[in-house]
Amino acid sequence: MSVILLFVFALSSCKKDEDAEKQITKYIQQNNINAVKDPSGLYYQIIKPGSGTTTINSNTSITIKYEGKLLDGTVIDNGGGKENTFRLGDLIEGWKIGIPKIQKGGEIRLIIPPTLGYGSRNAGPIPANSVLDFNIQLTNAQ
């Protein structure tokens, strides 16, 4: 019985991943976003690369301004409209993958599938299995 449940769970997970991929590709196409797909499944668009040679990793303290939305345009978080500082390693996987692609002064758009975001759980205003669209400006990294 547990094997059957595991199989059903695996199939439902695959279906959700496929659905997210379809949602993302449709969203990118409809909004004419020039995004690149990372091998992780993250889609990103470097708006400004920024400058410098800082190696950004999990231990890096980043200062950013950001806005996150659901694909329907609902804003889920904007950091209060001001700069916020975080340790990159404390953030969702999509940010850990995307933010190191830019430097100080850079700006990136991240379209994050649920597997690299909050997955199958609700997180505040974010429904389970949501694709997220973040615009992030990196003002400092150290």
Token code pair at residue 93: 């996987």
* Contact predicate 131/24, CB 8 Å: yes
| pLDDT tens readout for residues 66-106 | 999 999 999 999 999 999 999 999 999 999 999 999 999 99
DSSP codes, 77-116? E-GGGS-EEEEGGGS-HHHHHHGGGS-TT-EEEEEE-GGG
What's the confidence (pLDDT) of residue 8?
A: 35
The answer on pLDDT for 50 being more than 60 is yes
Residue 115 pLDDT grade (very low, low, confident, very high; cuts 50, 70, 90):
very high
pTM exceeds 0.85 for this model: yes
Residues in the chain: 142
What's the confidence (pLDDT) of residue 20?
A: 93
Q: What percent of the chain has pLDDT over 70?
A: 87
